[in-house]
Structure formats: C-alpha cells, structure tokens
C-alpha cells in the first residue's frame, strides 16, 4: 500500500526568537503513487526471493534516493538486457518497455518481472487495439522519455506519430485525417495536454479519444494540489528528480500560477537565497519521491526558521495495485 497522504501535522516547536517565521503549506496528495509503490516493492521482494544481485533495466523510478537505496540492497541498474548475465533475475522499470525487451528476455531464458505501472500498461493495450482497428495514433508526450519509447514499442513502426506541443499539433499532416486516434503519456501537464488535444480535435473532428483519461490520477491530483496552494505561497519547493516528468510538471504548474518554484532532489540542494523575502513556502513532492524526503526538508528549514506547517489536502488517494504472481506475500 502507498504511504498515507495525510501526515500528522507537527505542532509548532518552541524556537529562539531570532529565527524568522516561515509558514509551510504542504500539498496533499504528494509523493509516492500506487504505481511507484508497486514497482519499488517488486524490486525489494525480488531481492528477498532471489538474493542479490537482482538486475533492473533502467531506473525503476526516477528518483536518486530510491535508486541508491535499492542499489544498497542488491539491485544492479542497467540500460539494456545485454548487460544482464544469463542466470540473473531482471526487473523492467515502472515506465514500461517495448515488446522487444520481454521477447529478448524470453529468448534468453531470463527470469524477469515486469514492474510497468498498470496505468501505463492500459495505454499500451489501447495502442494495440487502435492499430488493430486500422487507426493511426497521434501520441502526445515528451521525446526520449522511457514511457514514450515503451509505448511506441507496442505497435509496428509508422503506426504512431509523436507530438509534444500545440505547434506540433497545428503542423501535423496525416495521410488520412478521418482515421486518427490520440493517446498521451501518463505524466504530462494537464493544462498543456488539454490545449494540444483541443487543437487536434478542432483540426480533426473525427479523431478518436482514449477510453478514459490517459494522464494518470496521481499526476492530475498532484498538479491540482499545487494549484490549490500556489497563489497563497511566496515560493514553492518541489522534491523530485530532474528526469522525473511528473515532478518537472509540478514546477511548471506553480510557475504558471505566478509563484516562483524550484525543483530539488534532496534538502541539501536547497539554495537559501531562493527563500529571501519568503514568508509562506509551498512544498510538494513528485510521484517517485518518498515522504521522508519531505520531512528531511522540513527539518532542514527548521534550522534557520521558526517553522509552522499546515497540510492542504485536495484529494484522498486509496488506489493500490496488485503485485505479480509469485511475489505477493499476502497471496
């Protein structure tokens, strides 16, 4: 299960009067989502089952703290399967992989586990169905992101086109404008994606939409939580990795609300000059950042400020995903 999203709010601590006051507004939901929690647990249980080392193709999630912790437990992170010994277990990351990867693993007889987020897998299955129905897919996403690479790898070459922006949508020229569909990466900006989709639907009225929203619940909820507090904050800190799409989007959401925002991976990366003149500071964490990094940041801020904190919850998440067969300790 994912960690509770509504943490107990710490009571104000008595501090020396020479510390300036700093109010913290802490967004909820924040931090781990169900897909991230599941992927990390798969690696942990694989190490328990097989012993170290267990190989992981690509970072299991985009967070250095999480990756370093799993590495210390016995995980070995690689980018391609040819780096995995023939007799070693391997886990595929939460972002998803092209079909060629499990096919290669099977050909080599590797013992593999797929930690792809179920919501990403849902997009994969939609892509397969649409191509089977003869539609050309416009995929909205960020070039080079592992999720995009994995999704493109579900369908034959030439059956899907990538666009990133409204300008891309305006310039796209399909062979058959009457036989299109669109899908999206799960970790995009809700507002940016809506603008791209509106452009596509205006240009191609017959374009087929996905079954339900492709942008995942966790991405949408974290962006909504930032919107709820940004206008009340002088600045915002987002805990997350620079290669974490959903974390970078949280910075953009805050800035779009007119609030300066900074992405940091750990509390020790904080540039104190960013807080000059700040009386109210917003804090959130991307979907692959554990809650203890939020607490670490609050503790560091307390060294220089008389901190009070208030959690602002806009949604309560209860989703949990099942573990693969053979790994679930409760099965």
> Which strands form 90-92's sheet, in the order they lie side by side?
75-78, 54-57, 90-92, 112-114
**If you compute the radius of gyration of the chain from its CA atoms, what whole number of angstroms results?**
21
H-helix or E-strand containing 284? strand 280-285
- Catalytic residue chosen out of the listed positions 147, 257, 311, 317: 147
Alpha carbons within 13 A on the beta-carbon side of 40 = 25
Residue 83 tokens, joined = 């780096």
Alpha carbons 287 and 246: distance in angstroms, whole number = 7
Angle among Cα 34, 284, 298 to the nearest 5 degrees reads 115
Alpha carbons 267 and 272: distance in angstroms, whole number = 11
227, 218 Cβ separation under 8 angstroms: no
For residue 24, list its beta bridge partners: 281, 309
User: Is residue 147 flagged as an active site residue?
Assistant: yes
91, 113 Cβ separation under 8 angstroms: yes
E-strand spans in 205-254? 235-239
Residue 231 is classified by DSSP as: T
How do strand 54-57 and strand 21-28 relate by DSSP bridges?
A: unpaired
- Catalytic residue numbers? 147
């Amino acid at each position: 299960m994912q960690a509770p999203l509504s943490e107990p709010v710490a009571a104000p601590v008595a501090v020396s009067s020479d510390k300036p006051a700093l109010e913290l507004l802490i967004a909820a939901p924040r931090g781990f989502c169900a897909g991230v929690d599941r992927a990390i647990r798969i690696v942990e249980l694989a190490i328990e089952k097989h012993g170290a080392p267990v190989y992981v193709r690509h970072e299991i999630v985009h967070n250095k703290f999480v990756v370093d912790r799993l590495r210390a437990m016995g995980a070995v992170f690689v980018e391609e399967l040819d780096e995995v010994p023939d007799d070693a277990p391997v886990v595929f990351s939460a972002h998803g992989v092209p079909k060629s990867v499990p096919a290669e693993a099977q050909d080599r007889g590797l013992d593999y586990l797929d930690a792809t987020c179920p919501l990403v897998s849902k997009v994969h299955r939609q892509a397969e169905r649409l191509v089977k129905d003869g539609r050309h897919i416009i995929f909205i996403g960020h070039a080079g992101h592992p999720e995009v690479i994995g999704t493109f790898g579900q369908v034959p070459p030439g059956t899907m086109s990538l666009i990133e922006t409204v300008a891309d949508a305006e310039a796209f020229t399909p062979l058959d404008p009457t036989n299109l569909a669109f899908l999206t990466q799960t970790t995009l900006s809700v507002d940016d994606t809506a603008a791209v989709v509106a452009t596509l639907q205006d240009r191609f009225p017959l374009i087929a939409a996905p079954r339900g929203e492709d942008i995942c619940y966790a991405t949408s909820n974290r962006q909504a939580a930032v919107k709820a507090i940004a206008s009340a904050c002088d600045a915002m800190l987002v805990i997350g990795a620079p290669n974490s799409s959903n974390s970078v989007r949280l910075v953009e959401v805050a800035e779009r609300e007119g609030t300066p925002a900074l992405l940091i991976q750990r509390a020790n990366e904080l540039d104190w000059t960013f807080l000059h003149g700040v009386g109210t500071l917003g804090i959130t964490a991307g979907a692959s950042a554990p809650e203890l990094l939020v607490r670490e940041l609050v503790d560091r801020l307390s060294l220089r400020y008389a901190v009070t904190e208030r959690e602002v919850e806009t949604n309560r998440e209860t989703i949990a995903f099942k573990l693969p067969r053979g790994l679930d300790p409760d099965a």
